[in-house]
Amino acid sequence: MRPRREVRQGDAARLTRVKHGANLAQLSSLCYGIKVRSLLAVLILALAAGSVTAAGWPQPAIEQGDSRDIEVLFTFDDGPSPLLTAKLLDTLKEHHVQAIFFLVGNMAQSKDKRTAPVLERMKAEGHVIANHTQNHLDECRAPLEKAAADIDNGKATIERVTGWPLAWIRIPFGARCAQVDQLLADRGLWHFHWDLDPQEWQHHSADKAFTYVTGQLARARGRVVLLMHDIQPATIGALPRILTWIDEENARRATSKKKQIKILQAPAYAAEKLPNGLGGWLREAGEGIQSLPDLVARVLP
């Protein structure tokens, strides 16, 4: 496992002294002074520290937003697959959706030459990358040392192959026990759970996945986190139909004044998790280049 990057206290202090009126020139000067990677690391550490919880895996999986509409956050586990994840990215791009990909370290470091371009696409197209461990073990059944290595090696591997620091983790199988609680607490992490699980990895049916997801979204309230798997053909088959259904359902709802079903973009949700004040600073620092969600997508994994 490669050494963890350290952020010097002086660097962090300089960041906290940046005024909200900072412009791009000031940001560039700061980056040259403490290096771009240190800036990224400070922001990731701030995000992770603000997300620690000891409450387990409650549902709803994430806090509710200010929107009165239904919001769905798309998340995908177990990849990347050189072929299937690439197809899924095509679908997400066509429908203007930015998701969270919880990657498995062994999959991410595949020697298949098609894997690296898939990871580059995830970053270039504004998705968020997160840790799903190195070997997808049941961390409650694995010995403590082995479970700890699975979490840490997954993070190290994914950071090495993507070049981006990771802030979030999803524990395989959503397993929870005292051992997992302690492992997460020791690292200042929280498990990113879900609300909707079509189980397509088990039944391998795109039709069943489509029926389940659309049925749940039709009666959903507030925010929901959808779990699917980008290495499953059933996911690849169901996703375009789900996204098309959302568009068509919103058109129907517009005539009846029912609540819309909106996509909660992953970088937009990440921006919400930044500590108070930091989001405003980023917004002003990046003014004239790109919106805050796109800027945060570059800062986050």
Residuewise pLDDT in 10s, the chain (301 residues): 333 333 333 333 333 333 333 333 333 333 434 344 444 444 444 444 434 333 458 889 998 888 889 999 999 999 999 999 999 999 999 999 999 999 999 999 999 999 999 999 999 999 999 999 999 999 999 999 999 999 999 999 999 999 988 999 999 999 999 999 999 999 999 999 999 999 999 999 999 999 999 999 999 999 999 999 999 999 999 999 999 999 999 999 999 889 999 999 999 999 888 766 555 555 555 544 445 555 555 445 4
Tell whether pTM > 0.85. no
| Cis peptide leading into residue 80 (ω within 30°) | yes
Instruction: Give pLDDT, residue 271.
Output: 87
Q: Which residues contact 1 (CB under 8 A, 6 or more apart)?
A: 152, 153, 156
Residues 101 and 128 sit within 8 Å (Cβ to Cβ): yes
So where are the chain's domains?
7-49+275-301, 50-264
How many other C-beta atoms are found inside a 10 Å radius of the C-beta of residue 145? 8
The span from the CA of 45 to the CA of 188, in Å, is: 9
With residue 228 as reference, give the H or E element that holds it: strand 223-229
Residues 285 and 26 sit within 8 Å (Cβ to Cβ): yes
Rounded (10°) angle between helices 233-256 and 84-94:
10
**What's the gap between Cα 161 and its chain centre?**
17
Q: What is the 3-state secondary structure (H, E, C) of 153-203?
A: HHHHHHHHHHCCCCCCECCHHHCCCHHHHHHHHHHCCCECCCCECCCHHHH
The span from the CA of 126 to the CA of 295, in Å, is: 9
Residue recorded with tokens 């029926």: 211
Catalytic residue set = 77, 229
Select from 168, 110, 172, 129 the least CA-distant residue to 147: 172
The phi and psi torsions of 103 (rounded to 5 degrees) equal -90, 150
CATH 3.20.20.370 assigned to 50-264? yes
Q: Give the three-class secondary structure for 213.
A: helix
Query: 78 burial class (0-12, 13-18, 19+ CB within 10 angstroms)?
Result: buried
The span from the CA of 97 to the CA of 246, in Å, is: 12
The span from the CA of 136 to the CA of 46, in Å, is: 27
Q: What is the 3-state secondary structure (H, E, C) of 69-117?
A: CEEEEEEEECCCCCCHHHHHHHHHHHCCCCCEEEECHHHHCCCCCCHHH
The span from the CA of 110 to the CA of 26, in Å, is: 40
Residues 217 and 246 sit within 8 Å (Cβ to Cβ): yes
The span from the CA of 80 to the CA of 101, in Å, is: 8
Count Cβ neighbours within 10 Å for each residue of 15-31 and write b for 16 or more, e otherwise: beeeeeebeeeebeebe
How many other C-beta atoms are found inside a 10 Å radius of the C-beta of residue 91? 17
